Amino acid sequence: MSRLLLAIVASGTVTLSGLAGAQVHPADRALLAQTNLFSTVPEQFHARLTVNRTDWLRPLQAEMWRGGRDRMLARVLDPRQAGRFLLQMGAEHYLIAPGARQPVKLGAGVGAAGAVSFEQLLGLDVERDFDIERAEGSGRIVTFHLVARPDTAAARATPRARWVVDRTRRLPLRVDIVLADGRTARVVEFADFLPGRDRVPSRLVLKDVLRGGPPAIVEIVAFEATPVPDGLFSLTDPAGRAQLPPAEKPR
């Protein structure tokens, strides 16, 4: 579960930039841009979500705030986890805990570990961090074979990926996280999207191909595009986070 949240924090390292694959058809590039959830999901939002697996005793309930493209704060809704947050500032991940005076910087290995990362939850920022190696079409399904750009945060966690989209609906269907040696590590299926919001996923299925086990089902139960206070993301002043209501499970 922690891996999920760790990964959730691994959000917003991403800004838009051009695609490098010169051999790709402009229409495919446009399709990739339209299905890039990183750019379609609002940069300021608050969301609540549940994560469940058939082998867990109870689902995990969490909430997250996104305050700009590179900043993310998440916490588990459980009184036992009170005061603990996972924070992402750019490519850096931090754990904020009541027992530690300063936010604890998490190493790249810890930050990128786990069955899912925030990039994988919203999809990868396929426009900024990846080059298109090639695109394959089969009916309305198009598969983009992507390679992470060097020296990006994505390159450490997701060196390669397959981005599968529905050309007709202009929505992503699935992303396969591929290791440098070609093995598929994880698969994220975008099973459903929030009604009324074209490209905000509401239900995802996360499969850990390498380690196996039952898939994790992530459901975004509440989503609100709303301005998020800067104070939530401060590394030095916890006052902003202290004003948040207690981390209790929603009834």
Kindly compute the dihedral angle of the four CA atoms of residues 226, 244, 86, 13, in this order, to the nearest 10 degrees. 20
Nearer to other proteins, 5 or 161 (CB): 5
* Least Cβ distance, residue 165 to other proteins (angstroms): 33
The number of angstroms, rounded, from the C-alpha of 97 to the middle of its chain's C-alpha atoms is 22
* Least Cβ distance, residue 76 to other proteins (angstroms): 6
- Residues of this chain that bind other proteins (CB under 8 A): 1-3, 5-6, 76, 78, 80-81, 84, 86, 95, 97, 99-102, 104-107, 110
Tokens (6 digits) for 190 = 């975008």
* Least Cβ distance, residue 4 to other proteins (angstroms): 9
Nearer to other proteins, 3 or 197 (CB): 3
Nearer to other proteins, 58 or 251 (CB): 58
* Least Cβ distance, residue 193 to other proteins (angstroms): 28
Sequential DSSP letters for 2-46:
HHHHHHHHS-----------TTS-HHHHHHHHHT-HHHHS-SEEE
Tokens (6 digits) for 134 = 């090639």
Amino acid at 15: T
Q: In whole angstroms, give the CA distance from residue 15 to residue 147.
A: 16
Q: In whole angstroms, give the CA distance from residue 82 to residue 121.
A: 24
* Least Cβ distance, residue 1 to other proteins (angstroms): 4
Nearer to other proteins, 93 or 199 (CB): 93
Nearer to other proteins, 12 or 103 (CB): 103
Nearer to other proteins, 24 or 64 (CB): 64
What residue has token string 């390679």?
Answer: 147
* Least Cβ distance, residue 227 to other proteins (angstroms): 28
Task: Say how many CA atoms lie within 13 Å of 161 toward its Cβ.
Answer: 29
